[in-house]
Amino acid sequence: MEEPEFDIVTTHGTMRVKLYSKTPQHRENFVKLVSEKYYDDIRFHRVIAGFMIQTGDPLSRDTSKIDSWGIGGPEYTVPAEFVPEYVHKKGALAAARKGDMANPRKASSGSQFYIVHDENVCRQLDGQYTVFGEVTDGLEVIDEIANVATDRYDRPYEDVQIITIKPVGIPVQTPVAEADSTGVEPADSTSEQ
């Protein structure tokens, strides 16, 4: 499983992503969550045209919790895996995280990730957020999602959701290893950014 591929099937089309080999903890965590169907029916809760589209918060399945969208996820973080060659280009898949004050080690969210819309704006994030994959097909889907109308909190007015994420060419099995063996760390209760 060097660089597995997945189809992220959304309400606006399908994006094929490749996960990088040099970010193994992020790759294994993503594969685990996909095998658990963790991302099914989760919304893109933060959409900023010319910047990025963000998803992965399980609270976004419930519209009654809209004020909490962006803070949900599993009770662990993933240690930062910065690789200089993995940059915030258009279509880059990167892990969201809490801000530097609450998270000086820059540990990643256990589930939330974003996809870069405009690399010129996002290059400032290189070496600050772990880039662990890229969209290899379906860049137009990023454009379509990034350009939906949003409220003042960058939440789309319409439901923009991940329907499911499917492995391409490999069966995904539920891992049997303990969470501790993946190197993930317990999360604290402050909000994601």
Split at pLDDT 50, 70, 90, the class of 119 is: confident
**Domain annotation covers residue 193:** no
**Domain annotation covers residue 191:** no
Q: Which domain CATH number covers 21?
A: 2.40.100.10
Q: Please report the pLDDT score of residue 189 as a whole number.
A: 43
What is the Cα–Cα distance from 189 to 138, expressed in whole angstroms?
35
Rounded to an integer, the average pLDDT of 61-80 is: 95
pLDDT in tens, 142-159: 999 999 999 999 999 999
> Which structural domain, as residue segments, surrounds residue 77?
5-186
**Domain annotation covers residue 136:** yes
CA distances, 12 to each of 4, 61, 82, 139 (Å)? 23, 17, 30, 12
**Domain annotation covers residue 65:** yes
**pLDDT of residue 179 exceeding 70:** no
Q: Please report the pLDDT score of residue 190 as a whole number.
A: 44
What is the Cα–Cα distance from 160 to 169, expressed in whole angstroms?
26
Rounded to an integer, the average pLDDT of 16-43 is: 98
Q: Please report the pLDDT score of residue 120 as a whole number.
A: 84
What is the Cα–Cα distance from 107 to 160, expressed in whole angstroms?
27
pLDDT in tens, 83-118: 999 999 999 999 999 999 999 999 999 999 999 999
Q: Please report the pLDDT score of residue 123 as a whole number.
A: 87
Burial 65-87 (b: 16+ CB within 10 A, else e): eeeebbbbbbebbbebbeeeebb
**Domain annotation covers residue 140:** yes
| One-letter-per-residue 3-state SS of 116-144 | ECCHHHHHHHCCCCCEEEEEEECHHHHHH
Rounded to an integer, the average pLDDT of 152-169 is: 96
**Domain annotation covers residue 156:** yes
Q: Number of folded domains in the chain?
A: 1
Split at pLDDT 50, 70, 90, the class of 178 is: very low
What is the Cα–Cα distance from 24 to 86, expressed in whole angstroms?
13
Rounded to an integer, the average pLDDT of 123-131 is: 94
Summary mean pLDDT of the chain: 90
**Domain annotation covers residue 30:** yes
